[in-house]
Amino acid sequence: MFKDNTITPTIKAGIANKQGLWLKAFRLMCQASQMAATYEANRSVCKYVHSTSRGHEAIQIAAGLQLHPWDYASPYYRDDSMMLAMGFTPLELMLQLLAKGDDPFSGGRSYYSHPASRVPNRPLIPHQSSATGMQVIPATGMAQGIRYLERNLSDSLPTGPHGELPVVLCSLGDGSVTEGEVSEAWQSAILWELPVIYLVQDNEWGISASSAETRVMDAYEYAAGFKGLKRIRVDGSDFEESYHGMEAAISYVRKERKPVLVHACVPLLGHHTSGVRKEWYRTDEDLSFHGEKDPLPKLKALLISSGIPEKDLLTIERETQEYIEAEFDKARIAQDPDPRTVKDHVFAPAAVTSEKGNRTPANGVKVMMVDAALHAVEEILRDYPEAIFFGQDVGRRLGGVFREAATLAEKFGDHRVYNTAIQEAYIVGATAGLSAVGVKPIVEIQFADYIYPGFNQLVTEISKSCYLSYGKFPVQTLIRIPIGAYGGGGPYHSGSIESTLLTIKGIKVVYPSNAADMKGLMKAAFLDPNPVVMLEHKGLYWSKVPGTQAAIMVEPDADYQLPMGKGRVVVPAHPKDVKKGDTCCIITYGMGVYWAMAVAAAFPGQVEVIDLRTLFPLDEELVYSSVSRHGKCLVLTEEQLNNSFAQALAGRIQQHCFRSLDAPIFTIGALDLPAVPINLALENEMLPNPQKVKAAVKELLAY
């Protein structure tokens, strides 16, 4: 181009700019390398398991340097170099490494390089787990939320000074790409054209398993099967190539608003983790081969060849060592978390704490539960433009297999009410990312039996987010699930899952039994800043099951809200029977309410029926006061009984009310069978019914 080889001022400026970038990267690389060396030299101090980025520094720094404060990131557990490049300090990272109280990400609750940050001048980073590949769905959910805001509520979307749109960077190791949930995320990103970069760092090891024994293709080759996913391959140990590759990827996504995969080949120079040592399973030949690709000496050689004196680089290395050692000393003497804070931030404060609005308007019309649910969601979508509703078959054509979403897509558009593929993991997990960017999702799992593919996301990501981010990232999501048996629904459409759900700490579970409660709890669940699972008995939707007509109630006004954690006395016992000591209470929920009501009618004045309405939080005050007043209690559930929520509740009642009891706590539930059989006679034999409950109450009252 320049035949006389003249170095013009423009060329000089370009060289200087490159040198400045390379020097910045070199300083960061030196920091990451020295941090890893310091941790290794202080193994007795660094007692909590951790990984470092040794070998991965070039691609991580190239990515981190090009993200802006209006962008979003989802790093993985080896990404400490990326964190440094985004502006986080070594001390901040070390405070998390040593689980100190001033750990800015989790307050001493989570592992090293597990960030959760809302710092204004850095990319937003929600909480994520270290379960490999699990972060890809929440990260894609962030991109889904950004796309929605970009197209519909652009004023609420952060942008750059010149209107630059945000992107999401999702980082993961190549070993995690074989996870099925990664495929679900990639399918969704391509289908909906989401602005996300998937940076796959391939060091050819998955703990002790080599790439040769665990896969037939790398991530770049695998991604070729995802039509519409742009691919870039780079040498992740070469900083300049990595920088240009990430520059191209980020520019493409920022402008085209479509996903891209960057496959970076990198060496693994450190241990898998501090607890899984490289010498345990890697040969000297393998370690030597990876060592030859060390990004740090490669970048150092590039700087020297560009005219930077080696002595200047040696000075940087010496100063970095002194700096990192001083910062580590600060982190080492920092205070541990106050043990009294261990229970903080399990949940964000509830938005609805008292009953509000008109439950029974004077001119109200009676509605079935399914219509109360439909109307509640319609009112939410009308009042909250940031709300969306998606799941299998809830879109325009069908409006839900129970018609619980009928007409919503017609009224609010396919961009707010839409179908997904059969991807329960994505449906559940994406809500973590959507919530992080300010979108308020309502999602549906088609039947309770289908929740299990989504359990990984519910347990690993959603339930832990508020607690492990020290309150920075509660996940506002409402997950609707039709549940229960009736009419020969069969083994995969009739199951009860509340006991399984209730083993998860960090979620709330509600279970309304009538139209008014359905609407009031739906509003409270949507407004709650925490994850709420709403179990909706499909046998009560239309009150087709004999004896459930009372589920049809006057529809509350649109402003009606019913707080979670408040039970209801459905049928009171008569005071004179209570005084005689001739009464009992039935604690139940869902379909059990109607079995209990039928039995109460057979023992006039002698049976009090409590509808829990919310299984967690539980109205313990109502339960214990009722049991203490009557001295006799039956806990009734539709679920299989052995090791169930009902049995656990009976144990708690026994402990708290022991001095008031006149009889053992009785429990009734379904037979302990693996599934609900499809044959009606077999189904009826398995489930509780009024006759079975009546016999138990008769025996209980006889004590």
Cα-based angle 288, 290, 294 (whole degrees, multiple of 5): 110
For residues 76 and 179, is the Cβ–Cβ distance under 8 A? no
Q: What is the distance between the alpha carbons of residues 157 and 145, in angstroms, rounded to a whole number? A: 10
Distance of alpha carbon 91 from alpha carbon 107, whole angstroms: 14
- Residues with Cβ within 8 Å of residue 405, at least 6 apart in sequence: 374, 377, 389, 394, 395, 399, 417, 444
What are the structure tokens assigned to 242, written together? 């990595």
Q: Are 494 and 152 in contact (CB under 8 A)?
A: no
Type of residue found at 380: I
Read off φ and ψ for residue 664, nearest 5 degrees: -65, 155
Separation CA 258–CA 195 (nearest Å): 5
Tokens 């309502």, residue located: 442
β-pair partners for 553: 367
Side chain identity at residue 674, one-letter code:
P
Query: Is the Cα torsion angle 369, 673, 692, 611 positive or negative in sign?
Result: negative
As a whole number of angstroms, the distance between CA 594 and CA 294 comes to 69
Nearest to 263 by CA among 302, 215, 209, 303: 215
d(CA 257, CA 12): 35
Distance CA 614, CA 479 (A): 14
- Number of Cβ atoms within 10 Å of the Cβ of 278: 16
Q: CA 651, CA 635: separation in Å to the nearest integer?
A: 10
Confirm whether 415 is a catalytic residue. Answer: no
Q: What is the distance between the alpha carbons of residues 267 and 511, in angstroms, rounded to a whole number?
A: 51
Q: Which residue in 127, 493, 537, 630 is the catalytic one?
A: 493
Report, as residue numbers or ranges, the catalytic residues: 493
